């Protein structure tokens, strides 16, 4: 059971995640979820958080008759207060599940924010905030998500998050999830079926993810081709190596850079692998008198090359966007 407060002054809410209780003693509007949870809140916070909810609240502002002694239970606990309030304040019916609406209210009111417990509910929360045009609230939720450990969007969740982002048209999450999937070695039907990932994503979404990977590889290939030319100009003596390719780079460096754009994992960048290829080249050249040019790259020059390479790769990936598509009903 999770509880923020069990007893509070009249100006502060009683909220409990255990039974989705969100109750202001001085509430002037009741928000009712799709699954019939009722949240007694202050209208001022609601109307200031969303122009759409403001309209719904104003339309529904139709006070009911004052309660009589025969309609109010004698108990003084919170439940009886709920019953009494129901006769006095307007009720706004919302097409939102209780768990998601409860979470949303914790980002609207001055209470500790609470993320729902499942990936699906968190994505639903983001979708609702976006649907009701809650710009500030949406930013608040995303900032909270970014603080989660382990990260909310990671290899284990990226596939599902991408699918749900497409469904809810959440561009920010779709792009982050798509970039996370770049660490996947393959997107073939057989491999995805083995990992039971096909059930969570409609074919139209999967096709767009596959096209995103293709665009990333294509963009990287073009950008890296230009990078090869620029690095030769940045470090002129790099072309003194005895094993140069047509690009003017040492063969080991040329093959490493070219491999980034064509790798099964298009975002693959590994400094250890980079050093290993350099060392292998130097050792191989020793039988031919060594390679003074590449041997002299083990310090500052390597850091310059690696820094420029990673910046180019990350910048290239950042330029590729995700296109939202509509999935056909199954």
pLDDT for res 202: 83
Domains of the chain: 3-116 (3.30.710), 137-210 (no CATH), 217-318 (no CATH)
Give 250's DSSP letter. B
Statement: residue 291 has pLDDT above 60: yes
**Nearest partner of 210 among 194, 190, 187, judged by Cα:** 187
Statement: residue 329 has pLDDT above 80: no
For 58-96, what is each residue's pLDDT tens digit?
877 655 444 444 333 444 445 555 544 445 789 999 999
Split at pLDDT 50, 70, 90, the class of 37 is very high
Give 232's DSSP letter. H
For 106-122, what is each residue's pLDDT tens digit?
999 999 999 999 999 99
pLDDT for res 288: 65
Determine what percent of the chain falls in helix, strand and coil, rounding each to the nearest 5: 55, 5, 35
- What rounded mean pLDDT belongs to the chain? 81
pLDDT for res 160: 93
Which run of H or E residues covers position 266?
A: none
Report the b/e string of 123-137 with b at 16+ CB within 10 A.
Answer: bbbbbbbbebebeeb
**Percentage, residues of the chain above pLDDT 90:** 40
Give 8's DSSP letter. -
CA 92 to chain centre: 30
Rounded to whole angstroms, the Cα distance separating 179 from 173 reads 10
pLDDT for res 197: 66
Split at pLDDT 50, 70, 90, the class of 266 is low
The mean-pLDDT minimum among 126-130, 145-149, 273-277 falls in 273-277
Statement: residue 22 has pLDDT above 80: yes
Three-state DSSP state, 36: coil
């Amino acid at each position: 059971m999770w509880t923020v407060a069990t007893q509070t002054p009249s100006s502060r809410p009683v909220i409990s995640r255990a039974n989705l209780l969100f109750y202001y003693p001085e509430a002037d509007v009741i928000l009712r979820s799709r699954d019939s949870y009722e949240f007694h809140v202050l209208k001022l916070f609601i109307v200031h958080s969303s122009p759409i909810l403001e309209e719904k609240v104003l339309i529904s502002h139709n006070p009911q008759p004052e309660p009589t002694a025969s309609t109010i239970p004698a108990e003084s606990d919170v439940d009886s207060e709920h019953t009494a309030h129901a006769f006095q304040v307007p009720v706004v019916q919302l097409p939102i599940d209780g768990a998601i609406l409860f979470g949303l209210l914790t980002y609207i009111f001055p209470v500790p924010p609470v993320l729902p417990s499942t990936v699906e509910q968190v994505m639903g929360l983001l979708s609702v905030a976006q649907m009701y045009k809650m710009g500030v609230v949406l930013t608040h939720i995303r900032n909270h998500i970014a603080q989660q450990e382990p990260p909310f969007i990671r290899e284990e969740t990226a596939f599902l998050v991408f699918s749900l982002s497409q469904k809810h048209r959440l561009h920010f999450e779709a792009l982050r999830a798509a970039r996370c999937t770049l660490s996947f070695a393959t997107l073939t039907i057989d491999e995805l079926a083995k990992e039971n990932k096909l059930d969570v994503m409609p074919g139209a979404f999967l096709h767009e993810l596959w096209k995103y990977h293709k665009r990333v590889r294509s963009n990287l290939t073009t950008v890296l081709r230009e990078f090869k030319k620029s690095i030769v100009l940045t470090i002129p003596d790099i072309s003194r190596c005895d094993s140069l390719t047509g690009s003017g780079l040492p063969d080991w460096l040329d093959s490493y850079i070219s491999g980034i754009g064509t790798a099964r994992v298009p975002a693959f960048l590994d400094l250890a692998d980079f050093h290993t290829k350099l060392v292998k080249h130097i050792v191989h050249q020793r039988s031919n008198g060594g390679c003074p040019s590449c041997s002299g790259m083990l310090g500052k020059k390597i850091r310059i090359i690696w820094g420029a390479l990673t910046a180019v790769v990350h910048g290239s990936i950042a330029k590729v966007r995700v296109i939202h598509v509509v999935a056909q009903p199954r």
